[in-house]
Structure 1
Amino acid sequence: MKKLGLIGGTGPESTVIYYDRVLRGIQEATGTDVVAPLTIENLSYLEVFEYMGAGDLAGLTTYLLGGIRSLADAGCDLAAMTAFTTHAVFDRVAADSPIPLVSAVDATVRASAAYETVALLGTEFTMTSTFVSAPIEATGTRCVTPNAEEISYIQRKLTEEIEKGVIRRETIDGVAAIVERLAAEEGAQLAILGCTELPPLFDGVDLAIPKLDTIDAHVADLVTAVT
């Protein structure tokens, strides 16, 4: 079995989910109670937001590569980033990484390819950039995003509440209303939870359309890669 490394802390809530789902996924895949070898390098979503806010993709790449190299030094055979936003520089990081990286975006593209129109939710940087929407649309699927006011609302809620583990009913309802509008006005058939902090927000909550938990899609690829 290969040793997996995770870049965590970007944010902390999703890192915990990844840890649990990866370990349980490997146990299910192997039919054993094995506790798989895994190392987490804890970076910071605050640093990531600062780099992205300044448009400093080179700085973000260097920051993430430092974490990846630490994972390689810890004996990891492959690695993954537990945040969607950091995938804005995935190709840059992968090009200089000493170990293979498994992409959450690739997993998401495959999982959404059967739909005609999907709605992409995430951080402001994810929703206003093309590193997720472009590969989705390359498969023939239309990808829509919230409007500027809605994007600002989601980013504020992520920063002030969700990244800190705070889940409020009014926030669930607020983001759910955005999904409902995108379904009604844009014809969205699937809501992509393109920030790995969003699945906990909608745990056990039905939206106007089916939702894609991108952590599940990514973890499935990770389990396959290590077993």
Structure 2
Amino acid sequence: MKTLGLIGGMSWESSAQYYRLINEEVRARLGGAHSAQLLMWSVDFARIKQLQHDGDWDALGNEMVDAAQRLQAGGAELLLICTNTMHKLVAEIEAACPLPLLHIADP
């Protein structure tokens, strides 16, 4: 099983849903007491919300790249972003972090 790296905190409620759904799917597929191997980096949504309001996508990109690199350093093997809007920054994350990123637009 790969270790998933979740970029969360946008909002924490959304991150909780990703956590729950991922673990429910792992249990459904593997049965018993199985759960996902994952790491989560949770950002402070107040900062993200202000940067979005200000239209500062460079700073937002830096925040997402920082989160991705922290997850990689922690042992993540695959990245997920636990929100829709921040997928606008997938190219920046992929350019700065070699881990595969599951992009919501790919399916």
- Whether TM-score is above 0.5 comes out as yes
AA aligned opposite 2:59: G
TM-score, with structure 1 as normaliser? 0.45
Greater relative contact order, per chain length (Cα 8 Å cut-off, separation 6+):
2
Matches within 5 A, 1:136-151: none
Match of 2:52 in 1: 52
What do the CA deviations read for 1:36-73 (whole angstroms, capped 9, x no partner)? 21111010222222222222211111111111111111
Q: Structure 2 stretches of 5 or more lacking a match? A: none
Q: Which runs of 4+ in 1 moved over 3 A?
A: none
Instruction: Report the count of equivalent residues.
Output: 107
Match of 1:36 in 2: 36
What do the CA deviations read for 1:148-168 (whole angstroms, capped 9, x no partner)? xxxxxxxxxxxxxxxxxxxxx
What do the CA deviations read for 1:200-227 (whole angstroms, capped 9, x no partner)? xxxxxxxxxxxxxxxxxxxxxxxxxxxx
Matches within 5 A, 1:186-225: none
Match of 1:177 in 2: none
Q: Does 1:27 align with 2:27?
A: yes
AA aligned opposite 1:105: A
CA radius of gyration, larger in:
1
TM-score, with structure 2 as normaliser? 0.90
Match of 1:77 in 2: 77
Query: 1:84–1:105: 8 Å Cα contact kept in structure 2?
Result: no
Q: Structure 1 stretches of 5 or more lacking a match? A: 108-227
AA aligned opposite 2:81: M
Computed over aligned residues only, the root mean square deviation of the Cα atoms, in angstroms, reads 1.4
